[in-house]
Amino acid sequence: MTDGFTYRWPRPALTVDVALFGLQAGQLSVLLIRRRLPPFEGWWALPGGFVRLDEGLEWAARRELEEEAGVRPAWIEQIGAFGAPGRDPRERVVSVAWWALLRADEHAPVAASDASEVRWHPVASLPALAFDHATMVTAALHRLRQRAWESAIGAELLGEQFTLGELQTVQESLLGHPLDKRNFRRRMNESGLLVEAGEARSEGPGRPARLFRLGDRMRGAPLGSTRENE
Amino acid sequence: MTDGFTYRWPRPALTVDVALFGLQAGQLSVLLIRRRLPPFEGWWALPGGFVRLDEGLEWAARRELEEEAGVRPAWIEQIGAFGAPGRDPRERVVSVAWWALLRADEHAPVAASDASEVRWHPVASLPALAFDHATMVTAALHRLRQRAWESAIGAELLGEQFTLGELQTVQESLLGHPLDKRNFRRRMNESGLLVEAGEARSEGPGRPARLFRLGDRMRGAPLGSTRENE
DNA sequence: GCCATTAGTGTAATCACAACACGAAATGAA
DNA sequence: TTCATTTCGTGTTGTGATTACACTAATGGC
């Protein structure tokens, strides 16, 4: 952004790191990989890696998820850049952190490339993490809960169609606390985010539940009732 | 974040760009510099520049403000990373964007280094901007207004001590719409962010106003009443 | 001392959110 | 077929927060 020479200076390395969330047995969990190489050899870390010259940041994040764990998130959003000098002991590395959601029906992640192991860890009991990844997870969780509170983002964890009961259960898992059934359903109805889609009954007994899907272009949109600042 | 060789790959350049806001004659304005060199020669742009190997991101942002305009912001916060390939026609450049506030009593900015001119532009009427800086300004404004709504950030634009009337005026300028006097004062009182600090009368006639200052470590903290998600 | 100017204060109406219990529709077993 | 079980689906009331709104208090200038 200065003259034609400036951009030949030595430059920091640029990486992306992704906090990928999913539900494992109803537990909100983060996908971690165990590092096979130094630094932090043997430690758990977020999947991530270097940004290539020709790819966008979000693309880089998606590619790393695919390469390192073989998964494609249903939702991904940037958290911000983490660039404290010394956060990587090797050299100066600035990392753009992301958070993402993986649908439950996606196939399980598999270890690949730089990882000796890939595993879901419940957010309630995380191990020590490499680099500043603990900070990133904290920030990611914060954003996730904010989104879950204000926008039914949990729908991204379900299939194309889902019942209100399913959606509520997912949202509760994301938020980490129970929701009132009637209030939840009212909010969803009034939000205008959902549209009906037939009828069905999933598990054995009980009255069949109506099916819904996300309305067009409603990904992550705020509920109608949420306070905004003009 | 992979093996010892990976970080020798060619890497994107890394810059910071800052949307610095201030009040000019009561108008919320952004500081822009006119570029003296290609690309976008002669266009208005946000101050910014390359990140050095040994400095943190926030430091880089502050340094560029000082170098290019000779100012030190009272508040600065990250917006996020902008890294679409092609956003800089020269080569791949990823930029970490920031927004900042400059106190009214700071001395006026001066043109330096890469800029042929430095000027405040009211946000209501911005010129076309270089690169993707228009997007950054939009995002910055959004965050600024959010903060102003939920946290009396306007106090950063005033001196150490200020009256509630002054604070309200500033907040109104930031938000872009008027606030109710009594409701504003109640919120401030209940927030617990402010503490008294003597007594004074500023301009000519009228009842003297009480002076306040920000309570310890209350920078940008949310008002007590603001809804949060647990 | 009177007028102009700015600071400071309380209450009523409205709205959003939280709490809460039962009837409806299906399944499966007796 | 009847009954027990299970899950789905629905409305109202109370409470706390936000909004709207008008006058008195204290000073400076004439």
- Give the number of A-B residue pairs with CB atoms closer than 8 Å: 143
Give the DSSP letter of residue A146: H
The reply to whether residue B54 touches residue A84, judged by beta carbons under 8 angstroms, is no
Name residue B80's amino acid: G
Name residue B74's amino acid: A
Cis before B38 (ω within 30): no
Going by C-alpha positions, the residue among A147, A140, A181, A136 that lies closest to residue A163 is A181
The reply to whether residue B51 touches residue A94, judged by beta carbons under 8 angstroms, is yes
A177 touches strand C (CB under 7 A): no
A72 touches strand D (CB under 7 A): no
A163 touches strand D (CB under 7 A): yes
The reply to whether residue A14 touches residue B14, judged by beta carbons under 8 angstroms, is yes
Q: What is the pLDDT of residues A169-214, one digit of tens each?
A: 999 999 999 999 999 999 999 999 999 988 777 777 889 999 999 9
A182 touches strand C (CB under 7 A): yes
**Nearest C-alpha of chain B: how many angstroms from A145?**
7
Pick from B41-50, B61-70, B106-115: least confident? B106-115
In chain B, what are the domains? 6-149 (3.90.79.10), 152-214 (1.10.10.10)
Give the nucleotide nearest to A227 (CA→C1'). C16
Active site residue B156: no
Query: ∠ CA B201-B206-B208 to the nearest 5 degrees?
Result: 30
Question: Which residue of the set B117, B166, B203, B230 is catalytic?
Answer: B117
Which stretch of DSSP H or E encloses residue A143?
helix A133-151
**What's the CA gap between B81 and A95, in Å, rounded?**
10
Q: Is the pLDDT of residue A230 over 90?
A: no
Q: What is the pLDDT of residues B91-132, one digit of tens each?
A: 999 999 999 999 977 776 776 666 679 999 999 999 999 999
Bases in strand D with any atom closer than 7 Å to a protein CB: 5-12, 17-22, 25-29
Give DSSP secondary structure letters for B74-88: SEEEEEEEE--TTSS
Confidence at B230, pLDDT banded by 50, 70, 90: very low
Q: What is the pLDDT of residues B151-196, one digit of tens each?
A: 999 999 999 999 999 999 999 999 999 999 999 999 999 999 999 9
Chain B hits for A51, CB-CB cut-off 8 Å, are 11-12, 83, 94
Q: Is the pLDDT of residue A4 over 60?
A: no
Which residues, including other chains, have CB under 8 Å from residue A50's CB and lie 6 or more apart? A13, A14, A15, A60, B1, B2, B6, B7, B9, B11
Query: Within window 126-185 on B, which residues have Cβ closer than 7 Å to strand C?
Result: 163-165, 181-183, 185
Q: What is the pLDDT of residues A64-100, one digit of tens each?
A: 999 999 999 999 999 999 999 999 999 999 999 999 9
A11, A53, A90: residue with CB nearest B14: A11
